[in-house]
Amino acid sequence: MTHDYVAILTGLNGLVLVGASVQGALRYRQYVTSGLADLASQWLRIEQLMDARRRGEEPSADDLLIIRRAMPRWRNAHRFVAKYSLTAMSGSAYIVLFLFVLKSQMDILKWAGTADASADPDLAHRSFVVTMLSLAALLLDGLVAGTAALIRGVRQVQGRMTAEYTPLEQREALAVIQGRTPTSATTTADSNPSPQP
C-alpha cells in the first residue's frame, strides 16, 4: 500500500459513494412517489363512491370491483411492499454498497494517517476488491435498469396493440409495411375467382 495507491482508491471510492448516494436517494424517492400516487388514486375512487352514496346513487358492480381490487394494495402492508419490493431492494442494495465502500475508505484513511505505516497488502487487496466490485455494481445497475425500461416499454406497446387491434389486423399492417399483399386481400381474391371465358 502506497500513498499514490491510496489517492487512486480514494478518488474511485468518492465516485462510488456519490453514485450510490444519488441512486439510493432516487430509488427511495421513486418508491415513495409511486406508492403515494397509487394511494391517492385509490382514495379518489373511494371518495367518489362516498360522494355518490351521499347523493343517493348506488355504485355499479364494476365500480365496486375496481375498488375491491385496489384496496388490498394499501390496506395490507405486505402487498403494498411486495408491489414495490424491487425498487426497495435496489435502494437497500445501494445503502449496503455505500456502507461497504465507506468502511473501506475509512480503513484506507486510517492507514494513510498512521505515521510510518507499514505496507499492508491485506488492506490493499481488500480495498481494491471492494472498490472494483462497487464500480461493477454501479455499471451493472445502469445496464439492468436500461434493459428493464426497454422491456417495459415494449410490453406496453404490445399491450396497446393487442387491446386495440386483432391479430389479423396486426399481420395485415405488417404485410403492408413490408410491401407484401395482406392476407385478407389474398383470401378475398382466392374466394372470388374471375370468370373463365
C-alpha cell read off for 32 = 415513495
Which grid cell sits at 155? 410490453
pLDDT at residue 94 in the model: 79
How far is it, in rounded angstroms, from Cα 79 to Cα 69?
A: 12
> Cβ of 95: how many Cβ atoms within 10 Å?
14
Q: With H, G, I as helix, E, B as strand and everything else as coil, classify residue 172.
A: helix
Q: What is the C-alpha to C-alpha distance for residues 170 and 21, in angstroms, rounded to an integer?
A: 45
**Whole-number Cα distances in Å, 14 to 20, 21, 98, 113, 114:** 10, 10, 10, 18, 21
**Global confidence as pTM:** 0.56
Structure confidence by residue, pLDDT tens digits, 13-61: 888 888 888 887 887 787 778 777 877 777 787 888 888 888 888 878 8
Cell representation of residue 84:
414495490
Angle, vertex CA 105, rays to CA 103 and CA 106, nearest 5: 65
**Domains of the chain, residue spans:** 3-183
Per-residue pLDDT tens over the stretch 145-171 = 788 888 988 888 888 888 888 888 888
Residue 189: predicted pLDDT: 47
Taking the C-alpha atoms of residue 188 and residue 194, their distance in angstroms, rounded to an integer, is 11
Report the distance separating Cα 104 and Cα 101, nearest Å.
5
CB hemisphere CA count around 75 (13 angstroms): 9
